[in-house]
Structure 1
């Protein structure tokens, strides 16, 4: 049975364009895999723990730092539970808007919580980082109101997709598809509608791929 984790990085609920595209992907995915298990995590409702000093200490123990104290062990167990939920999926769908040219801070927080040595990645001095998540695929659905490829930096720079793709690759996930809906405030009404329909089609295609 296929398992999909749908990661919602927008707080705008039904007004979110990125979530509208994500929902289109999800509908197509369910058509292809009617028995699939779907897990949805709304990062704004998930009550994620802070990544603080105890979290950092729990992680660096992997690299030979002093052993964790009892509080840090409890934090580590919470981080492992968050990771296990993520790792249980075969496929990932990340729906995110561009905020200040990058990803929303809740998505970055989630990534920091997940990125633990010994679970998400390993390390060897002679080889570097080694991603431990294999045979999985991911789709990133992103939206931006102003940014569009080909425009000058006065209209923004994409610091959303490249870091997400790099992180997924770092984790060992090489099968990554990116779907974009750009420049919703930069087009005519007709062009915006056409671009959105194309993004919907791209999202559905990614689900069926």
Structure 2
């Protein structure tokens, strides 16, 4: 089974994100005067802009980037839940995911079953993903190790479920487009904040202590 999200508010969110990013760029362009003065002069002005101006621009751009990531990830994320057998192929978000089989290996204190998935796009292999399940006999518990493929700022996840009586394997696959923008945006915002704080013009320092008066010379 497959699922795909959608929202009529997505264009509004994307437009708002682009507007914020564009506003930050336009502010830098106006301050540099690139449209009114020669390029070299504008470049010199841009280099001389206060750190607070650059910090504000980075912070606003980071906000817009994070907004784009949130809208795209929540609106166009894809999910596939299926039972696969070796050789089966499923398609999700333009990717072909082939289940290539399972192997078992022994760890220090656990038994691990590793599943192999070959991810291709238009007949070209992109990655081999190997999620696994670990069983700890002494603890009487098991854990699942999901596999992750990052391509650009989007990510594909493969997580394993239980095996069926007829030899099938329950698999859950997620595709999250532009999800890394959700993390990159706040990092850029934090960088902009630090850059603004480093601007000496915005520092409010304590007054320097007055110099101690010279010691009185003993009377002659």
TM-score (ref. length: structure 1): 0.22
More helix by share: 1
More strand by share: 2
Larger Rg: 2
